[in-house]
A = this chain, B = another copy of it.
Amino acid sequence: MTHRVIIVGGGFGGLKAAGALKDASIRVTLVDRRNFHLFQPLLYQVATGGLSPANIAAPLRAVLRKRRNLDVVLGEVMDIDVTRREVVLRDDRIAYDSLIVATGARHHYFGHQQWELLAPGLKTVEDATRIRRQILTAFERAERTDDPSEATRCLTFVVIGGGPTGVELAGAIGELAHRTLRNNFRHIDPGQAHILLVEGENRVLPMYPPELSEKAQRSLERLGVTVLCDARVTDISEQLVTIKRGGNTGETEEIPSRTVLWAAGVRASKLGQAIARATGAELDHSGRVVVNRDCTIDGHPEIFVVGDLASHQDQDGKLLPGVAPVAIQQGRYVARVIRRRLRGKATGEFVYKDHGQMSTIGRASAVAQIGKLRLSGFVAWLAWLLVHLLQLVGFENRVLVFIQWAGNYLTRNRAARLITETSSASDEPSELPAQANASEPSGTEVAAHLSRTAHNRLAKR
């Protein structure tokens, strides 16, 4: 009788587990809401026009097509029935013997959910194209307005959160403004753009050694990014961000800005709560499921939680970070546990091998910590390039991304600078429901808005 494994989530953890569950005696079902695996570490490149979504996504069915014992199901898991051992899709149920949950995390606004519309986070392809549209539209607005303060608002970009994502995003926007868009406009100088990176701690990349944080900050400043440490956001509106410097005693500062991006907090995906309800598992402060050393849940050895959804303490009681390598290693480990169990074998607890961490800052600089080794600048960037290229699923993607990067590097051009929308952009207002949303104007709405701003310079000519 075949052992039925259901994997929920086709991210790093889930995909790795699926890949490692080859045994003919096992039948794997991978359930995901999307039909592709997304290489999230490069999502900021899509958000800043450096790469296309397809460059960093691989269709799950294509990646796993050779796996005859594996079934990909495009569906959304609503709940888990631990007594009947079934995964509950919207109107459907699938039975499992072993369950691997790897649905990851989403952004978290610390109780300010209303900020989501004003300060989008970067987790999905749609987030990325939305942010790309917002950034490019801001420059277009600045080009068209005659109101200097509006121009300033448009050319001020605030990135909240000085972790890897925030640093990479701010650096890429710096690139875009100071290099890529040079000479693209006639009435503004994109180089005048203000890019602010707001970090709560006293340095960016707090998880790195201090000297690397410092190097990162200097690289950011070279790209025209202003780093504000010991600062936290107290309010966000359409045109204004309010931050407080240096703790509660510090003075508040108002920054006029039309583009605020969120890289501050993540929260485990909602399925964690369902698991807690069903199994009585504990959730940590950010909604992650507290798991045992073998990635299982107390009392449910058949349920594994891996990746960003799991709150996993290592031998020293240190919480494992929410990074791809952890998810990948956990996915591989869990697959091994299941395979060995079927052969009646026990498996030791999960041990995370930390191969270090690296973050890029703009076009040719990065910081990297590999064991004792600490790299920065161009060398680190090359290392970063190599590692990320090798990790990209699908040979073709690697070549494409490399070419595109090479192109970006040589031409300082970003090929994917498209303001795209959903509503059909055919010549007349289409019958399709146009997306009407302040924070993401459709191309047509952008055009409309821009037209509204006076345009005397041209008219006077």
Contacts and interface: CB of A to CB of B under 8 A. Distances in A.
Contacts of A433: 435-437
B186 A71 contact: yes
A381 to B, nearest CB: 20
B451 A90 contact: yes
A268 to B, nearest CB: 9
A113 interface: yes
Contacts of A395: 407, 411
A328 interface: no
B66 A124 contact: no
A360 to B, nearest CB: 20
A330 to B, nearest CB: 19
What copy number does this chain have within its complex?
2
A130 interface: yes
Chain A interface bracket (under 10, 10 to 19, 20 to 34, 35 or more): 35 or more
A395 B184 CA distance: 18
A132 B436 CA distance: 23
Interface string A425-461: 1111011110111001001101110111111001101
Contacts of A143: 74
Interface stretch (A150-158, A232-240, A293-301, A397-405): A397-405
A221 interface: no
Contacts of A413: 62, 394, 396
Nearest to A394: B415
Contacts of A420: 53, 125-126, 129
Interface stretch (A31-39, A161-169, A318-326, A367-375): A31-39
Given A62-B417, A448-B76, A117 B432 contact: yes
19 contacts: A27-B461, A33-B425, A34-B443, A35-B140, A52-B53, A53-B420, A54-B415, A75-B450, A90-B452, A92-B451, A106-B428, A125-B420, A126-B421, A130-B424, A270-B428, A394-B415, A395-B411, A399-B407, A400-B400
Given A59-B417, A106-B427, A433-B435, 20 more contacts: A34-B443, A54-B418, A58-B415, A74-B446, A74-B447, A76-B447, A89-B451, A106-B428, A113-B431, A117-B432, A126-B420, A126-B422, A127-B424, A269-B428, A270-B428, A395-B407, A396-B413, A399-B407, A422-B435, A433-B437
Interface of A: 2, 4, 27, 29, 33-36, 52-55, 57-59, 61-62, 65-66, 71-76, 86, 89-95, 103-107, 113, 116-117, 120-121, 123-127, 129-130, 136, 140, 143-144, 181-186, 269-271, 394-397, 399-400, 403-404, 407-408, 411, 413, 415-428, 430-433, 435-437, 440, 443-444, 446-448, 450-455, 458-459, 461
A-B pairs, 8 with minimum CB distance:
A90-B451, A396-B407, A54-B416, A269-B427, A52-B52, A61-B184, A89-B451, A422-B422
